Amino acid sequence: MRGGSKCTLCKKGSLKRKVIDETFSYKGKKITIHNFVIFECDYCEDEIVAPESLKSSRKVLKDHQRRVDGLLTSSEIKGIREKLDRKQEEFAKLLGMSVKTFTRYENGYVTQSRSVDKQIRLLNYLFDNYPHALEFLTQQKEEKIEKPSVVVAMGKYKTSPEQNYKIDAVNPPIHQGEYGEKWQKVAVG
Protein backbone atom coordinates (compact mmCIF):
# COMPACT_ATOMS: atom_id res chain seq x y z
CA MET A 1 0.00 0.00 0.00
CA ARG A 2 1.33 3.44 -0.84
CA GLY A 3 0.19 7.01 -1.23
CA GLY A 4 -1.78 7.72 -4.37
CA SER A 5 -3.51 4.31 -4.44
CA LYS A 6 -7.24 4.23 -4.97
CA CYS A 7 -9.35 3.95 -1.85
CA THR A 8 -10.73 0.42 -1.68
CA LEU A 9 -13.66 1.50 0.49
CA CYS A 10 -15.31 4.23 -1.56
CA LYS A 11 -13.41 3.52 -4.78
CA LYS A 12 -13.49 7.25 -5.52
CA GLY A 13 -10.78 8.97 -3.56
CA SER A 14 -7.07 8.33 -3.41
CA LEU A 15 -5.04 7.48 -0.32
CA LYS A 16 -2.72 9.93 1.34
CA ARG A 17 0.11 8.55 3.50
CA LYS A 18 0.29 10.04 6.97
CA VAL A 19 2.82 9.44 9.75
CA ILE A 20 1.28 10.00 13.16
CA ASP A 21 1.68 9.30 16.87
CA GLU A 22 -1.00 6.79 17.77
CA THR A 23 -2.03 6.15 21.34
CA PHE A 24 -3.34 2.77 22.45
CA SER A 25 -5.01 1.92 25.72
CA TYR A 26 -5.06 -1.37 27.63
CA LYS A 27 -7.01 -1.55 30.88
CA GLY A 28 -6.81 2.23 31.03
CA LYS A 29 -3.00 2.28 30.67
CA LYS A 30 -1.89 4.18 27.62
CA ILE A 31 1.02 3.74 25.29
CA THR A 32 2.00 5.93 22.33
CA ILE A 33 3.58 4.54 19.21
CA HIS A 34 5.51 7.06 17.11
CA ASN A 35 5.87 6.88 13.34
CA PHE A 36 2.59 5.01 13.01
CA VAL A 37 1.71 4.99 9.32
CA ILE A 38 -1.87 5.34 8.15
CA PHE A 39 -3.52 6.15 4.84
CA GLU A 40 -6.34 8.63 4.66
CA CYS A 41 -8.78 8.80 1.77
CA ASP A 42 -9.12 12.31 0.41
CA TYR A 43 -12.74 11.61 -0.55
CA CYS A 44 -14.49 9.53 2.17
CA GLU A 45 -11.89 10.42 4.84
CA ASP A 46 -11.68 6.81 6.00
CA GLU A 47 -8.36 5.83 7.47
CA ILE A 48 -6.50 2.58 6.94
CA VAL A 49 -3.55 1.39 9.00
CA ALA A 50 -0.48 0.48 6.97
CA PRO A 51 0.23 -3.28 7.24
CA GLU A 52 3.86 -2.57 8.19
CA SER A 53 2.69 -0.44 11.11
CA LEU A 54 0.39 -3.20 12.32
CA LYS A 55 3.26 -5.63 12.15
CA SER A 56 5.87 -3.46 13.85
CA SER A 57 3.54 -2.29 16.62
CA ARG A 58 2.42 -5.80 17.49
CA LYS A 59 5.40 -6.62 19.69
CA VAL A 60 5.30 -3.23 21.43
CA LEU A 61 1.59 -3.60 22.19
CA LYS A 62 1.96 -7.20 23.39
CA ASP A 63 4.72 -6.08 25.73
CA HIS A 64 2.55 -3.24 26.96
CA GLN A 65 -0.18 -5.77 27.79
CA ARG A 66 2.34 -7.96 29.57
CA ARG A 67 3.63 -5.06 31.63
CA VAL A 68 0.10 -4.04 32.65
CA ASP A 69 -0.78 -7.65 33.50
CA GLY A 70 2.40 -8.07 35.57
CA LEU A 71 4.03 -10.54 33.20
CA LEU A 72 7.63 -10.56 31.96
CA THR A 73 8.10 -8.72 28.68
CA SER A 74 9.66 -10.46 25.69
CA SER A 75 12.97 -8.69 26.23
CA GLU A 76 12.93 -9.57 29.93
CA ILE A 77 12.45 -13.22 28.99
CA LYS A 78 15.35 -12.98 26.56
CA GLY A 79 17.42 -11.23 29.22
CA ILE A 80 16.85 -14.05 31.71
CA ARG A 81 17.70 -16.71 29.14
CA GLU A 82 20.92 -14.90 28.22
CA LYS A 83 21.83 -14.40 31.88
CA LEU A 84 21.44 -18.15 32.40
CA ASP A 85 23.64 -18.61 29.32
CA ARG A 86 21.23 -21.01 27.63
CA LYS A 87 20.37 -21.32 23.97
CA GLN A 88 16.68 -21.12 23.08
CA GLU A 89 16.54 -24.91 22.68
CA GLU A 90 18.12 -25.44 26.09
CA PHE A 91 15.91 -22.93 27.84
CA ALA A 92 12.79 -24.39 26.21
CA LYS A 93 13.86 -27.80 27.48
CA LEU A 94 14.18 -26.46 31.03
CA LEU A 95 10.59 -25.27 30.74
CA GLY A 96 9.49 -28.57 29.20
CA MET A 97 8.18 -26.97 26.02
CA SER A 98 9.05 -26.95 22.35
CA VAL A 99 11.57 -24.41 21.14
CA LYS A 100 8.93 -23.18 18.69
CA THR A 101 6.60 -22.22 21.52
CA PHE A 102 9.36 -20.59 23.55
CA THR A 103 10.62 -18.56 20.58
CA ARG A 104 7.15 -17.05 20.18
CA TYR A 105 7.28 -15.76 23.76
CA GLU A 106 10.73 -14.31 23.24
CA ASN A 107 9.80 -12.72 19.93
CA GLY A 108 6.76 -11.20 21.55
CA TYR A 109 4.22 -12.77 19.21
CA VAL A 110 2.49 -14.84 21.88
CA THR A 111 2.01 -13.96 25.53
CA GLN A 112 3.12 -16.61 27.99
CA SER A 113 0.64 -17.96 30.51
CA ARG A 114 0.91 -16.93 34.15
CA SER A 115 2.17 -20.42 34.93
CA VAL A 116 4.99 -20.23 32.35
CA ASP A 117 5.80 -16.73 33.58
CA LYS A 118 6.25 -18.08 37.12
CA GLN A 119 8.44 -20.92 35.85
CA ILE A 120 10.74 -18.46 34.08
CA ARG A 121 10.97 -16.30 37.20
CA LEU A 122 11.70 -19.40 39.25
CA LEU A 123 14.53 -20.46 36.91
CA ASN A 124 15.99 -16.98 37.27
CA TYR A 125 15.75 -17.25 41.06
CA LEU A 126 17.32 -20.70 41.10
CA PHE A 127 20.21 -19.46 38.97
CA ASP A 128 20.93 -16.67 41.45
CA ASN A 129 20.38 -18.58 44.65
CA TYR A 130 20.48 -22.33 44.04
CA PRO A 131 22.62 -23.03 40.97
CA HIS A 132 22.74 -26.72 41.95
CA ALA A 133 18.99 -26.99 41.62
CA LEU A 134 19.25 -25.64 38.10
CA GLU A 135 21.92 -28.20 37.29
CA PHE A 136 19.64 -30.92 38.63
CA LEU A 137 16.90 -29.76 36.27
CA THR A 138 19.30 -29.63 33.33
CA GLN A 139 20.45 -33.19 33.94
CA GLN A 140 16.97 -34.70 34.13
CA LYS A 141 16.67 -37.40 31.50
CA GLU A 142 13.59 -37.07 29.35
CA GLU A 143 11.83 -39.41 27.03
CA LYS A 144 10.26 -37.83 24.04
CA ILE A 145 6.49 -37.85 24.43
CA GLU A 146 4.79 -39.70 21.59
CA LYS A 147 1.87 -38.06 19.89
CA PRO A 148 -0.69 -39.43 20.27
CA SER A 149 0.70 -41.11 23.35
CA VAL A 150 -0.40 -44.66 23.98
CA VAL A 151 -0.05 -47.01 26.89
CA VAL A 152 0.56 -50.58 25.85
CA ALA A 153 -0.94 -53.51 27.77
CA MET A 154 1.41 -56.42 28.42
CA GLY A 155 -1.34 -59.05 28.15
CA LYS A 156 -2.73 -60.41 24.87
CA TYR A 157 -6.25 -59.25 24.16
CA LYS A 158 -8.55 -59.58 21.26
CA THR A 159 -10.12 -56.21 20.60
CA SER A 160 -13.85 -55.92 19.96
CA PRO A 161 -15.04 -54.13 16.81
CA GLU A 162 -16.01 -51.09 18.90
CA GLN A 163 -12.59 -51.01 20.49
CA ASN A 164 -11.01 -51.28 17.12
CA TYR A 165 -12.97 -48.30 16.03
CA LYS A 166 -11.94 -46.42 19.14
CA ILE A 167 -8.31 -47.37 18.84
CA ASP A 168 -8.31 -46.61 15.15
CA ALA A 169 -9.41 -43.07 15.86
CA VAL A 170 -6.39 -42.43 18.02
CA ASN A 171 -3.73 -44.76 16.75
CA PRO A 172 -4.32 -47.63 14.33
CA PRO A 173 -3.48 -50.98 15.94
CA ILE A 174 -0.81 -53.03 14.24
CA HIS A 175 -2.94 -56.18 14.17
CA GLN A 176 -6.47 -55.02 13.78
CA GLY A 177 -9.00 -57.53 15.15
CA GLU A 178 -6.34 -60.15 15.74
CA TYR A 179 -4.11 -61.18 18.58
CA GLY A 180 -1.03 -59.06 18.58
CA GLU A 181 2.31 -60.80 18.23
CA LYS A 182 3.22 -59.95 21.76
CA TRP A 183 0.67 -57.39 22.82
CA GLN A 184 -2.06 -55.29 21.46
CA LYS A 185 -1.71 -51.54 21.55
CA VAL A 186 -4.33 -50.03 23.81
CA ALA A 187 -4.96 -46.33 23.52
CA VAL A 188 -5.67 -44.50 26.73
CA GLY A 189 -7.26 -41.09 26.87
Contact residues toward Zn ion (CB under 5 A) are: 7, 9-10, 13, 41, 43-44
Which residues, at least 6 apart from 90, have a Cβ–Cβ distance to it below 8 Å?
Answer: 138
Of 48 and 122, the one with the shorter C-beta distance to Zn ion is: 48
**Least CB distance from residue 54 to Zn ion, whole Å?**
19
- Residues 91 and 84: beta-carbon distance below 8 Å: yes
Of 41 and 120, the one with the shorter C-beta distance to Zn ion is: 41
**Least CB distance from residue 19 to Zn ion, whole Å?**
19
Q: CA-CA distance, 15 to 8, in Å (whole number)? A: 9
**Least CB distance from residue 69 to Zn ion, whole Å?**
37
**Least CB distance from residue 47 to Zn ion, whole Å?**
10
DSSP labels, 150-166: -EE-SS--PPPHHHHHH
Q: CA-CA distance, 57 to 166, in Å (whole number)? A: 47
Q: Buried b / exposed e across 14-52, counting CB within 10 Å, b at 16+?
A: ebeeeeeeeeeeeeeeebebeebbbbbbeeeeeebebee
**Least CB distance from residue 39 to Zn ion, whole Å?**
10
